[in-house]
């Protein structure tokens, strides 16, 4: 049990703490990492580390990753599938949410498998020590080189389309373990860029082609199709799409078995949403898992199909709320009667989600946790782009340059989508646990920025 704050304190940094937390608290329903507290200096503490001290030591912007929150989310998925599903199960971390060696190693140590979508992510997971049988390779346009790396590393390849299927049939000199990604035609309510399960999607085989695909695979003994896969989208709060998906998938499993394919695995994807603001109310990890497990079990009973090894592959809901980004506040611009801009020392290069998806975030001032929110400000980044705004119209206490602003729930699709726009070095990331902080990603230097630059002799 983590003690948090005097109950009922509102309109201050305490607002985003839930009243009490324990290991049964679902991280995806929290705005702050599970270990967050306010210490006697009125400063935010995560993983037993004072956030302002971390910024003093490691600089800013700084991604601060709470190991306890990440491990809790891993265990909740793993244990929920064990509880609610009678067959075998495997939780897979969709590492594109944040792929780096330390995170791959942590989730692997919790028994999770790792899903990758590029040669670079695959290489990183291998370097982190992820076992080949725990590696799954996705992607709608894998290169020949990536497919060769996948074959050489003995991972399972999730085949997305005809070109890939035919290329693999050529490349595979020995049996290769594959799964087939299908487009199930299931709609869900999320941003259109992150919707993938409806028929008009670039991902997966069209259901109309399914017989031809199964026939092709059954004629290629080196393509060992162990199962089927679908992923319907991201940041989903509804349970209905995941209740509907198994019926469709199990029907296709049955068909695949009719073609003689050794299908024993069913992967129903990820997509569970997280809380970014107090208005977000996603189901818990346990609730989502229960719905998925029961729907698969029911569909298998109804269609008389043996229970497959059930896989899910969450990304955001495993890592999202485990991380916050700490910035140092800088300049302030007041536009009378319109708005006040507060600028931070990062922005769209370390968190491109607001400018890409109009995503909304919440923040606290780490060194003024109990100060009353008396201002409404807009938090702007430092990039040369008017749209580089991290948070529009947020309530904060009065601040000064040098104060530490902490943006919450930045674990998913922040570091992994970070860029060097304006040649801003990408931030460091520290892993915090029990008062210890370890660098897991070093801050880039100016030397790093020019590492791949070349100056032809005639220009010197």
Ligand X SMILES: *Cc1c(COP(=O)(O)O)cnc(C)c1O
Binding residues for ligand X, per CB under 6 A? Answer: 94, 96-97, 138, 231, 234, 269-271, 313-317
Q: Which is nearer to ligand X, 50 or 244 (CB)?
A: 244
**Is the CB of 158 or the CB of 390 nearer to ligand X?**
158
Chain-centroid distance of CA 78 in Å reads 17
> 85 labelled as ligand-binding?
no
Residues with catalytic function: 384
- Is 197 annotated to bind ligand? no
The single residue listed with the structure tokens 């319907």 is 232
A 10 A CB-CB count for 417 gives: 17
User: Distances from the Cα of 436 to the Cαs of 46, 432, 439, in angstroms?
Assistant: 10, 6, 10
Minimum CB distance to ligand X smaller for 234 or for 321:
234
- Residue pointed to by tokens 């969450």: 314
> Does 313 appear as a known binding residue?
yes
Q: Is 341 annotated as ligand-binding?
A: no
113 strand-pairing partners: 92
Has 45 been labeled as part of a binding site? no
Question: 16 among the known binding-site residues?
Answer: no
Cβ closest to ligand X, residue 220 vs residue 351: 351
Residue 175 marked as a ligand binder: no
Cβ at position 115, least distance to ligand X in Å: 6
- CB-nearer residue toward ligand X: 117 or 300: 117
Question: How far apart are CB 122 and ligand X at their closest, in Å?
Answer: 14
315 has binding-site annotation = yes
- As measured in angstroms, the least distance from the Cβ of 401 to ligand X is 35
Using CB atoms within 10 Å of the CB of residue 401, give its burial: 0 to 12 exposed, 13 to 18 middle, 19+ buried.
exposed
The reply, when asked if residue 353 is annotated as ligand binding, is yes
* Cβ closest to ligand X, residue 186 vs residue 326: 186
C-beta of 109: minimal distance to ligand X in Å?
20
**Nearest distance from residue 107's CB to ligand X, in Å?**
13
Q: Which residues are annotated as a binding site for substrate?
A: 316, 353, 357, 385, 413
Which residues line the annotated binding site? 271, 313-316, 353, 357, 385, 413
> Which residues are documented as binding site for pyridoxal 5'-phosphate?
271, 313-316, 413
């Amino acid at each position: 049990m983590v003690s948090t704050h005097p109950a009922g304190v509102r309109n201050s940094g305490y607002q985003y703490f839930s009243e009490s937390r324990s290991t049964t608290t679902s991280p995806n329903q929290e705005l702050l990492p599970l270990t967050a507290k306010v210490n006697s200096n009125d400063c935010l503490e995560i993983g037993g580390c004072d956030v302002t001290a971390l910024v003093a030591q490691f600089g800013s912007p700084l991604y601060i990753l709470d190991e306890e929150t990440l491990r809790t989310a891993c265990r909740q998925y793993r244990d929920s599938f064990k509880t609610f599903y009678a067959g075998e199960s495997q939780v897979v971390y969709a590492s594109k949410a944040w792929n780096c060696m330390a995170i791959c190693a942590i989730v692997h140590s919790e028994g999770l498998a790792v899903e990758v979508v590029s040669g670079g992510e695959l290489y990183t997971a291998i370097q982190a020590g992820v076992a080949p049988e725990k590696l799954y390779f996705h992607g709608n346009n894998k290169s020949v080189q990536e497919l060769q790396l996948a074959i050489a590393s003995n991972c399972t390849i999730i085949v997305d389309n005809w070109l890939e299927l035919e290329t693999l049939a050529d490349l595979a000199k020995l049996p290769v373990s594959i799964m087939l990604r299908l487009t199930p035609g299931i709609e869900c309510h999320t941003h259109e860029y992150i919707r993938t399960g409806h028929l008009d999607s670039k991902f997966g085989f069209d259901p109309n082609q399914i017989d031809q695909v199964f026939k092709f695979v059954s004629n290629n003994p080196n393509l060992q199709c162990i199962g089927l896969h679908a992923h319907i989208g991201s940041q989903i709060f509804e349970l209905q799409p995941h209740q509907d998906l198994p019926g469709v998938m199990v029907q296709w499993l049955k068909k695949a078995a009719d073609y003689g394919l050794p299908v024993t695995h069913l992967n129903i994807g990820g997509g569970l949403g997280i809380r970014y603001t107090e208005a977000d109310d996603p189901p818990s990890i346990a609730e989502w898992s229960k719905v998925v497990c029961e729907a698969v079990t029911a569909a298998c009973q109804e269609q008389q199909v043996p229970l497959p090894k059930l896989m899910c592959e969450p990304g955001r809901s495993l890592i999202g709320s485990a991380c916050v980004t700490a910035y140092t506040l800088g300049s302030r611009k007041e536009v009378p009667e319109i708005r006040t801009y507060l600028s931070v020392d990062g922005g769209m290069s370390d968190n491109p989600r607001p400018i890409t998806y109009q995503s909304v975030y919440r923040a606290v001032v780490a060194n003024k946790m109990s100060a009353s929110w008396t201002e409404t400000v807009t938090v702007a980044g430092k990039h040369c782009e008017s749209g580089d705004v991290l948070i529009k119209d947020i309530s904060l206490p009065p601040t000064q340059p040098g104060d530490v602003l902490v943006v919450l729930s930045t674990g998913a699709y922040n570091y992994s989508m970070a860029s060097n726009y304006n040649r801003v070095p990408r931030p460091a990331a520290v892993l915090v646990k029990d008062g210890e902080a370890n660098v897991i990603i070093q801050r880039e230097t100016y030397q790093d920025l020019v590492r791949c630059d070349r100056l032809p002799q005639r220009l010197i």
